[in-house]
């Protein structure tokens, strides 16, 4: 059964039942704030605090989207991008693209105009659906994206260069289009990046998407009476693939726009949430708010909340010990995944293995893992090597990049770039990352982008950006700056210079020092990490 067929089945069996609810905290979004931090979100177009959708309406809206695309000449395999904040329209648009036989291309809502253009070009996107938050960015590039033949706008105050998505789809048929699909057809492109910061287009098939449904359901046992709280952005594989368990079980989900502790607890209480996926910073914020007395658990109805699971970054065991103190009846799971392996679940702890907190876990449902040396040979138990995974959710390829694909996929095995070890019980622990990408609050920060930006400063001779441990975010970006002879510069000067960067990319720590380079000209970042106490984060966490 394809993922589009699962939606159609739910519409047939549970048509009048609510499936999605959007909770909007009715606040103005802060510009360029990363989604790990408190978000103040702009009012939805209707000005409503709470919106709902049934399975039947969900399926009908997806069909209308599909029929619009087909009427406009979209062919099987064409790429259609989505650039929206989390909203009730997001998933019907995504499924409509799939039903048309097209390839969905979700875009990070934090991308700059140039990054949007780069991803649209790389993916060969021919149509884009975007929302009001992105008008300025799309207006800046729409004359420079010739491959994009159609611009659809969802929301109020439509710009003149785009068509009204809502009005167009309202005039399209709500019947399912006659498009034959198979598990091997291309379905979606997600973007990732290496240490260079240039996104790679990760191509997945329908087989990958449907495999995520079964993996998630197997791991967390969603039932028809469950209600899943989805907080992360839907462009991210983690958020959507965890929701896929709700899709397969025909259960409800809530899209919460905002992550303040009181908002999360209020939503869990009022919407009778049973499953919540958090990032480490959000869990820490909830615990801190409880311990400060800012929120009182007795003010909320939380008895139905059965599972809290965490992904996207290493989890300190001390955090889970604190969590169990206040939520002793919660099941807990850790999820390890990457976009190349369809998001979460290729390795997971398992709710029955909380005694192994600190490990990322064991192979996920229908997944295999191995830890290899530099020649791809398995290492001995307990030794450190590169983690490789194999399963039904491995990407088809990096789109239009066969060289990069060949570097990471070998004989069906995806080499993750993460260094790991396995204990005597078969549990896997991350100990390092081969790449220099900084993971801050579950999001990737690419040092080269920040380094290139800082080198434009007149006083800077050289710069290196590394990750330093942080109790809340896991890591923060630190800039080691070497000044030109005769120049003076302060930390305040650098921070002022960085204000034109998106907030999440700004270095949180500034260090003035020499930048060491090896004889081939490469920055010696291991030396800098050692010098400034950046003990490899994951190894340190597993020892707590």
Non-local (6+) Cβ contacts of 80 within 8 A are 69, 74, 97, 100, 102, 103, 104, 105, 125, 126, 127, 128, 129
Which of 157-166, 277-286, 408-417 has the weakest average pLDDT?
277-286
Cα angle 342, 348, 350; round to 5 = 140
- Among candidate residues 289, 285, 265, 292, the one with its CA nearest the CA of residue 276: 265
User: What percentage of the chain has pLDDT greater than the value 90?
Assistant: 68
**124-157 per-position pLDDT tens digit:** 999 999 999 999 999 999 999 999 999 999 998 9
Which of 162-166, 258-262, 529-533 has the weakest average pLDDT?
529-533
pLDDT band of 377, cuts 50, 70, 90? very high
What the block records as the tokens of 164 is: 């009204």
Non-local (6+) Cβ contacts of 395 within 8 A are 202, 203, 204, 208, 339, 340, 341, 342, 409, 414
**158-202 per-position pLDDT tens digit:** 999 999 999 999 999 999 999 999 999 999 999 985 434 578 999
Report field, pTM of the whole predicted structure over 0.85 = no
The pLDDT of 301-310, averaged and rounded, is: 96
The pLDDT of 417-431, averaged and rounded, is: 90
Q: How confident is the model at residue 48, as a pLDDT?
A: 57
Instruction: Give kind and range of the element (H or E) at residue 220.
Output: helix 206-220
The pLDDT of 57-85, averaged and rounded, is: 98
Q: How confident is the model at residue 419, as a pLDDT?
A: 82
pLDDT band of 44, cuts 50, 70, 90? very low
The pLDDT of 428-450, averaged and rounded, is: 77
Q: How confident is the model at residue 353, as a pLDDT?
A: 94
Q: How confident is the model at residue 434, as a pLDDT?
A: 66
User: What percentage of the chain has pLDDT greater than the value 70?
Assistant: 90
Contact 349, 310 (CB under 8 A): no
CATH of range 438-542; options 3.60.21.10, 3.40.50.300, 3.30.300.30, 3.30.465.10: 3.30.300.30
Residue 45 has pLDDT above 70, yes or no: no
Residue 493 has pLDDT above 90, yes or no: yes
Q: For residue 13, what are the CA distances in angstroms to 131, 202, 468?
A: 32, 34, 51
The pLDDT of 248-263, averaged and rounded, is: 94
């Amino acid at each position: 059964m394809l993922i589009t067929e699962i939606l159609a089945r739910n519409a047939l069996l549970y048509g009048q039942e609510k499936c999605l609810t959007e909770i909007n905290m009715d606040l103005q979004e802060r510009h360029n704030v990363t989604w790990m931090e408190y978000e103040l979100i702009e009012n939805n177009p209707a000005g409503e605090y709470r919106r709902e959708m049934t399975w039947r309406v969900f399926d009908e809206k997806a069909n209308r989207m599909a029929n619009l695309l087909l009427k406009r000449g979209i062919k099987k395999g064409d790429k259609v991008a989505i650039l929206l904040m989390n909203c009730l329209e997001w998933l019907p648009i995504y499924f409509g693209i799939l039903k048309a036989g097209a390839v969905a291309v979700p875009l990070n809502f934090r991308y700059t105009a140039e990054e949007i253009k780069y991803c649209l070009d790389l993916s060969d996107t021919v149509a884009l659906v975007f929302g009001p938050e992105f008008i300025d960015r799309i207006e800046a590039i729409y004359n420079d994206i010739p491959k994009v033949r159609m611009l659809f706008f969802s929301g109020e105050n439509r710009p003149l260069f785009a068509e009204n998505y809502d009005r167009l789809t309202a005039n399209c048929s709500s019947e399912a289009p006659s498009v034959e699909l198979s598990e091997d057809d291309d379905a979606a492109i997600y973007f990732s990046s290496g240490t260079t910061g240039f996104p790679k287009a990760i191509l997945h098939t329908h087989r990958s998407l449907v495999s995520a449904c079964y993996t998630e359901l197997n791991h967390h046992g969603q039932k028809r009476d469950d209600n899943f709280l989805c907080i992360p952005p839907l462009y991210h594989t983690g958020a959507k693939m965890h929701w896929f368990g709700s899709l397969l079980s025909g259960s409800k989900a809530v899209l919460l726009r905002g992550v303040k502790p009181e908002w999360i607890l209020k939503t869990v209480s009022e919407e009778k949430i049973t499953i919540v996926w958090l990032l480490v910073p959000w869990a820490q914020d909830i615990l801190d708010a409880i311990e400060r007395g800012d929120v009182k658990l007795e003010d909320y109805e939380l008895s139905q909340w059965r599972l809290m699971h965490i992904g996207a970054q290493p989890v300190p065991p001390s955090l889970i010990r604190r969590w169990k103190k206040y939520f002793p009846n919660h099941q807990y799971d850790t999820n390890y995944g990457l976009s190349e392996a369809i998001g979460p679940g290729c390795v997971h702890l398992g709710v029955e293995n909380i005694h192994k907190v600190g490990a990322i876990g064991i192979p996920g449902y229908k997944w295999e893992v191995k830890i290899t040396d530099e020649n791809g040979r398995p290492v001995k138990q307990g030794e450190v090597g590169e983690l490789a995974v194999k399963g039904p959710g491995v990407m088809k390829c990096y789109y239009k990049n066969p060289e990069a694909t060949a570097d990471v996929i070998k004989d069906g095995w995806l080499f993750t770039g993460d260094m790991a070890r396995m204990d005597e019980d078969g549990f896997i622990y991350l100990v390092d990352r081969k790449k220099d990408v900084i993971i801050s609050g579950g999001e990737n920060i690419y040092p080269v982008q920040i380094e290139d930006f800082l080198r434009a400063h007149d006083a800077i001779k050289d710069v290196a950006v590394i990750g330093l441990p942080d109790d809340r975010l896991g890591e923060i970006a630190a800039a080691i700056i070497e000044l030109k002879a005769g120049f003076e510069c302060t930390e305040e000067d650098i921070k002022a210079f960085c204000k034109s960067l998106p907030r999440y990319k700004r270095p949180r720590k500034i260090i003035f020092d020499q930048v060491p380079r090896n004889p081939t000209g490469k920055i010696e970042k291991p030396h800098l990490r050692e010098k400034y106490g950046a003990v490899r984060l994951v190894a340190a966490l597993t020892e707590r």
